[in-house]
Structure 1
């Protein structure tokens, strides 16, 4: 028996038919719209669609790809509604909706949809569940989004697939010969390996081996900056700490923008399974946990821009407004800034390491990498909990996992339950006092790895194409150089100079939480707790500034 999909298991929750009393509750949030038979209710790529409730008639939902192929997805009649999680923010629609007959409908903007969800708690819960399940179904079924075209073992395909998957964006990956309809389109690129992978967008544009930023721009994932808007809070980093801040701040009425260079979830989002997080006795994947926070933040109106790599922070403006500038030249302004940029993966000093990143060198273990290394021998370096989780996950698919640590074992760095699991798994070989000394490969990617036994000095080389590095992290704070914040000798941001604001940095209105903060506990639970705590301090700080301004105005 095959694995049932979300659409099969939970169809009644994905496509509920709302009774008259629910429709009456929605009416006060929406506005009536009429569509003639054959008229487009919305098209793929259209922005600003929140939710559309059918009152009479029928709307056909379909997906089309850049090659012109059309697939029917659903049909909505009276009492049914159109939309998925992109409706919370007005991001581009992923499918087409066409009136199959004259249609009467209620149209809700993203803002109206969010107000409905918050004001009508029980109805809002059902609507949110449906919106989330629909996006999940689109991801599972590959029924929307771009086509990523490359051979199955192409590392670029994994790179782009990982980026889209980490950001909850559906896509379909195909090989060059899998779809005959693509033959003519792909013919000019078959002898040009630098062009692969190709990404075919729904509007027919073809991107050749795009960088993540270029792909995001083409898919309109980031949206536009608003240099003339001043947010109450700008959060840099969409890991657990940053998302927690966004949820609590936005739910309490503060205007929030979250900026992240890669995708939501941070390092926690790459965890195969988190088993020691409170409230999840059977464990939860990092992606699932942080995806819930990502949607929850948007539910309350937080704006999230990904990828948006912050290059500098101006915290000395005379007007007291902080300005964040990205490497793409965009600017966001805010009264307060929360630094939640976390830590980036530490890289060992190996020649050619950068050449093979994304082509055999990986800093996480997700289904995309598992697909590439299934049935092969792999190396995993690291002895912390994240490394242990990854080793167990990879061992279920790889032929063998060589787990290398420089120390004598795992007891000092890993939870006991993970050590027991590793020791009991015959597919995992723990290699203590061992380090990688050389990498070699070619245009296809990593091909061989050489390592050294630190006790004997003996070196061994083997044909290994995939190495997973989990050797800790260093603070992602280089973008803060322009703000001259106080840091410890390792570069982590120091806080607590003001007893009233223990998470405040040395700069007024700038706070730091999570892994980037000196002295933090470096745990998911701690990061989420700090995200909630900092919001209370932001409220107090904004109130204090408002009081100071009022006093100054009276004195004048």
Structure 2
């Protein structure tokens, strides 16, 4: 506790966070008071507990016991500030419910809840909360909505999350920001070049440039330039997998196909776990705007779409192991063992391969020097902020490239769109081609490829490209390049599994082999493949979701047989 107190004093000069958030604009929707009949229904799923004045119901950084239904007394909910103080979020009285999305997952709480008068409450554990969502659909829908709104408010303020200390244009800082953003986890960033409190912290702990960024976790631990997995473990995003539990189905990959499989499997009573090495959403989660997805005429960002699916899967009791990298798959007769990179084991009766694809890298010798800081594989608000008012280059000719270039054009001075082919029409939807042509600050260069990147210490200075037909080269000053040049199937972990791949590395399904297979089943009985990783699949979000829904029927047939 002494360490945490000292950290707070070092950050005392930091100003207060903005108060113009969803906490104020949608307060009534986030913190309703339930009437007597609703409280009676909620109490049926909880266990009654008493708390004395000053006693915590839950503390930030400790595992959430679930949802609280306040029967009597008062509870103050506060969010912690980087300066060591706290800000009141709400005071709960009788008829209020406490909790947000961590109540569904059992992950560490992002806020403190303290009884300010003696409290009687019904505590609804995560397992019972899942039952409530199913058995009391109308009530469950209202609770789910307020959980999501409360998480949005925490994301806006950064409350309850880790504090990243480092230059905002540093590659490692951007990596950690993207990791937390893609996983829907709040955080704050302090730049020592502009924040006196952050600079004092670096000096106090004698942090050298090689150790930046440092991360202050809610539990008081300080991490020096951590990996994504190390940070996730510290803040409780991922915990150890139960090696003795046998799941009905294990899904490898949390893109649209994997999440769709999880939602339908979970809703139909199959015990399900989803594993992904980075974040939910896959490549679709990096799309700034998807305008041709069924049911969203005004478009929706890939992150928003997949976040809804992720929360929906949590609602149905699906276990999430993210980030947890899968290293191998073994068949043990009537069950499967999934080996994780951290040597943990997951056991399941069936496996769905939804591991998607890995981003292709540009064939430039020193590209690794600029990845994360100047070379980007997605275009989110974080990258757009770094590039504001600048010229950028984007390489690609598919729909993802089209969505990204239109998004960036609204935030930067100019986008140079580099295309290897003779045009966009053969590889990009017509509505995107027309929109690109209408943007005055987008210039399309066909039959053109990047041949050199120049700069130092991760800072890009110039980009050189060549026109393939004429050999003419052009060099321009530029600090950021975006690559949307396709992907390769992420199937290396299947090397010793007995699952057959085609000559390009995609998973083969629906072949006769030795007497027939179920739809989307592979050469290994009980192992199915969906989405982009499957040979012959249509590389569209809607197709991936459809396959995820379809494969659950095959899973039921296999598990019953």
Question: What is aligned with 1:390?
Answer: 404
Counterpart pick for 1:331 among 332, 337, 345 = 345
Q: Deviations over 1:317-357 (max 9, x none)?
A: 2x422111111111101010000000111112210112221
Question: What is aligned with 1:199?
Answer: 215
Deviation of the 1:249 alpha carbon: 0.5
- Corresponding position: 1:64 with 2:76: no
Question: What is aligned with 2:35?
Answer: 19
Counterpart pick for 2:380 among 361, 366, 369 = 366
Question: What is aligned with 1:99?
Answer: 115
What is the SS of the residue equivalent to 2:416?
strand
- Corresponding position: 1:283 with 2:299: yes
- Corresponding position: 1:274 with 2:274: no
- The answer to whether the 8 Å contact 2:110/2:159 transfers is no
- 1: CA distance between counterparts of 2:271 and 2:212? 41
- Corresponding position: 1:534 with 2:551: yes
- Corresponding position: 1:429 with 2:446: no
- 2: CA distance between counterparts of 1:183 and 1:445? 22
Question: What is aligned with 2:530?
Answer: 513
Count of aligned residue pairs for this structure pair: 541
Counterpart pick for 2:462 among 448, 452, 461 = 448
Deviates further, 221-230 or 4-13: 4-13
Counterpart pick for 1:310 among 304, 307, 326 = 326
Question: What is aligned with 2:237?
Answer: 221
What is the SS of the residue equivalent to 1:482?
coil
- The answer to whether the 8 Å contact 1:66/1:204 transfers is no
- 1: CA distance between counterparts of 2:544 and 2:410? 30
- The answer to whether the 8 Å contact 1:255/1:302 transfers is yes
Question: What is aligned with 1:301?
Answer: 317
- Corresponding position: 1:472 with 2:486: yes
- The answer to whether the 8 Å contact 1:321/1:334 transfers is yes
> Relative to structure 1, is the Cα distance of residues 362 and 249 closer, same or farther in structure 2, using a 3 angstrom cutoff?
same
> Relative to structure 1, is the Cα distance of residues 382 and 277 closer, same or farther in structure 2, using a 3 angstrom cutoff?
same
- Corresponding position: 1:347 with 2:361: yes
Structure 1 length as normaliser, TM-score? 0.95
**What pairs up with 1:66-85 in 2 under 5 angstroms?**
68-85=84-101
- 1: CA distance between counterparts of 2:35 and 2:497? 55
What is the SS of the residue equivalent to 2:282?
coil
- 2: CA distance between counterparts of 1:301 and 1:382? 39
Counterpart pick for 2:169 among 153, 159, 184 = 153
- 2: CA distance between counterparts of 1:434 and 1:475? 25
Deviation of the 1:43 alpha carbon: 0.8
Deviation of the 1:250 alpha carbon: 0.8
- Corresponding position: 1:501 with 2:518: yes
- The answer to whether the 8 Å contact 2:403/2:432 transfers is yes
Structure 2 length as normaliser, TM-score? 0.94
- The answer to whether the 8 Å contact 1:66/1:203 transfers is no
- 1: CA distance between counterparts of 2:345 and 2:459? 37
Counterpart pick for 2:497 among 483, 507, 513 = 483
Consecutive unaligned residues in structure 2, runs of 5 or more: 1-17
Deviation of the 1:444 alpha carbon: 3.8
- The answer to whether the 8 Å contact 1:65/1:203 transfers is no
What is the SS of the residue equivalent to 1:74?
strand
- The answer to whether the 8 Å contact 1:275/1:282 transfers is yes
Q: Deviations over 1:72-111 (max 9, x none)?
A: 2221111111100111111111111111111111111001
Deviation of the 1:179 alpha carbon: 5.0
**What pairs up with 1:231-242 in 2 under 5 angstroms?**
231-242=247-258
Deviation of the 1:371 alpha carbon: 1.2
Question: What is aligned with 1:419?
Answer: 433
> Relative to structure 1, is the Cα distance of residues 23 and 178 closer, same or farther in structure 2, using a 3 angstrom cutoff?
farther
- The answer to whether the 8 Å contact 1:40/1:99 transfers is yes
> Relative to structure 1, is the Cα distance of residues 184 and 238 closer, same or farther in structure 2, using a 3 angstrom cutoff?
same
Deviation of the 1:178 alpha carbon: 5.2
- Corresponding position: 1:404 with 2:421: no
- 2: CA distance between counterparts of 1:384 and 1:9? 39
- The answer to whether the 8 Å contact 1:66/1:205 transfers is no
- 1: CA distance between counterparts of 2:198 and 2:544? 46
Question: What is aligned with 2:141?
Answer: 125
Question: What is aligned with 1:438?
Answer: 452
Deviates further, 428-437 or 191-200: 191-200
- The answer to whether the 8 Å contact 1:241/1:514 transfers is yes
Deviates further, 196-205 or 329-338: 196-205
- 2: CA distance between counterparts of 1:177 and 1:15? 39
- The answer to whether the 8 Å contact 2:60/2:160 transfers is no
- The answer to whether the 8 Å contact 2:255/2:284 transfers is yes
Q: Deviations over 1:401-421 (max 9, x none)?
A: 100001111010111111111
- 2: CA distance between counterparts of 1:48 and 1:191? 33
- The answer to whether the 8 Å contact 2:257/2:548 transfers is yes
- The answer to whether the 8 Å contact 1:13/1:126 transfers is no
- The answer to whether the 8 Å contact 1:144/1:172 transfers is no
- The answer to whether the 8 Å contact 2:171/2:371 transfers is no
Q: Deviations over 1:182-224 (max 9, x none)?
A: 4542215677221211211122211111110111111111111
Question: What is aligned with 1:552?
Answer: none
- 1: CA distance between counterparts of 2:529 and 2:483? 27
What is the SS of the residue equivalent to 2:511?
coil
Question: What is aligned with 2:7?
Answer: none
What is the SS of the residue equivalent to 1:430?
strand
